[in-house]
């Protein structure tokens, strides 16, 4: 496993980060989730990403239980706040001081830890003054409940505003968590340059485009049984936009590139996002231990410029690059 600094901080995280968005307490049983987390540890992964909204708080419980007995100082645990939790009452969502303060305490209890290494604003809150949000984060840092603060899916202007307030309040934003993969590159034009200027790193999710970049979905053929594209609860709607025959045909043309490098297509996809110097880590999920072990092998892989050019040629104009695009509603909780 390779490790990278997160933003302009002294915190090092593993290049491959284990995430439990669509799996724990949702798609797989707890015993399988526990086995997968321990496979991640065996692969050298030390960073784990979750959120209070995943499975309506249950995913945090599964992660916390699985990490019991591990040396806390050797782990980097990330969680998030914003989306509705609990019964979904009027103050059970957003980035108000009330919701943030109550949410951090709930997350720490569920995770079984005194602090999280990174606490992230899961989206930007257009209804709460950003000054209120950043003051709450500053207080959480001073209380020792979170060591660092990050955001998720904030645009360049939002990152700049948050960074300015954080600096005035005596702490810094060190990360943004966006979707990023060969087919979804919308952060490259504005978010990445702004983050580089201000000292934030990207922690990216969906590096294999919900499984599309593995090559298992074939043009003109039904999705494999048991795959995410057939799972109404676990991601069918989220993956639909990439299941066009032109995209699936282009993805198949990536196989010879991966084969020549001795990589699977999934490993090639994860390695691709890690070539961006502003990316500190790629979040991967898994429902079986062997999946996480395979994806972890993408750490440390260096892709030559000629390989990156071949990938661009294969995908052509199919990759989304417009920075004004936002996540579809189906991916809003990621």
> Which residue among the candidates 54, 148, 180, 217 is catalytic per the annotation?
54
Number of C-beta neighbours around residue 249 at 10 A: 14
**For residue 64, what are the CA distances in angstroms to 20, 200, 309?**
11, 27, 42
**H or E stretch including 111?**
helix 97-111
Active site residue 82: no
Q: Which of 163, 149, 157 shows the shortest CA–CA distance to 191?
A: 157
Strand partners, 116: 146
Tell me how far apart the terminal alpha carbons of the chain are, to the nearest angstrom.
25
CA-closest candidate to residue 184, choices 159, 158, 213 = 213
Q: Which residues pair with 75 in a beta bridge?
A: none
Q: Which two tokens stand for residue 54?
A: 């995943």
Residue 48: count of CB within 10 angstroms of its CB: 28
| Interatomic CA distance for residues 27 and 171, integer angstroms | 37
Helix (H) or strand (E) holding 260: helix 255-261
What are the percentages of helix, strand and coil residues in the chain, rounded to 5? 45, 15, 40
Question: What length does the chain have?
Answer: 334
The values of phi and psi at residue 321, to 5°, are -125, -5
Cβ-contact 172, 9 below 8 angstroms: yes
- Residues known to be catalytic: 54
């Amino acid at each position: 496993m390779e490790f990278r600094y997160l933003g302009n901080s002294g915190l090092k995280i593993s290049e491959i980060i284990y995430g439990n968005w669509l799996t724990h307490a949702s798609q797989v049983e707890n015993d399988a989730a526990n086995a997968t987390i321990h496979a991640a540890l065996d692969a050298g992964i030390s960073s784990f990403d979750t959120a209070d909204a995943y499975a309506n708080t249950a995913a945090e419980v599964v992660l916390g239980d699985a990490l019991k007995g591990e040396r806390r100082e050797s782990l980097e645990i990330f969680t998030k706040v914003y989306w509705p939790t609990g019964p979904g009452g009027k103050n059970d969502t957003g980035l108000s001081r009330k919701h943030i303060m109550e949410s951090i305490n709930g997350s720490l209890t569920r995770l079984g830890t005194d602090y999280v290494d990174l606490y992230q604003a899961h989206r930007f809150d257009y209804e709460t003054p950003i000054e209120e949000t950043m003051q709450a984060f500053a207080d959480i840092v001073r209380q020792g409940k979170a060591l660092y603060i990050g955001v998720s899916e904030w645009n360049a202007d939002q990152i700049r505003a948050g960074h300015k307030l954080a600096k005035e309040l005596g702490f810094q934003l060190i990360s943004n968590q966006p979707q990023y993969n060969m087919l979804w590159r919308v952060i490259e034009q504005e978010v990445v340059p702004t983050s580089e200027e201000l000292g934030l790193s990207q922690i990216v999710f969906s590096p294999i485009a919900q499984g599309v970049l593995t090559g298992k979905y074939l043009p003109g053929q039904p999705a494999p049984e048991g795959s995410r594209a057939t799972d109404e609860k676990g991601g069918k709607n989220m993956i639909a936009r990439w299941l066009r025959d032109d995209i699936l045909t282009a993805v198949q043309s990536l196989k010879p590139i991966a084969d020549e490098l001795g990589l699977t297509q999934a490993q090639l996809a994860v390695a691709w996002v890690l070539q961006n110097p502003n990316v500190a880590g790629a979040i991967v999920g898994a429902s079986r231990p062997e999946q996480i072990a395979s994806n972890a092998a993408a750490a440390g892989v260096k892709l030559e410029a000629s390989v990156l050019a071949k990938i661009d040629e294969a995908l052509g104009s199919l990759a989304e690059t417009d920075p004004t695009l936002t996540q579809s509603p189906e991916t809003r909780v990621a």
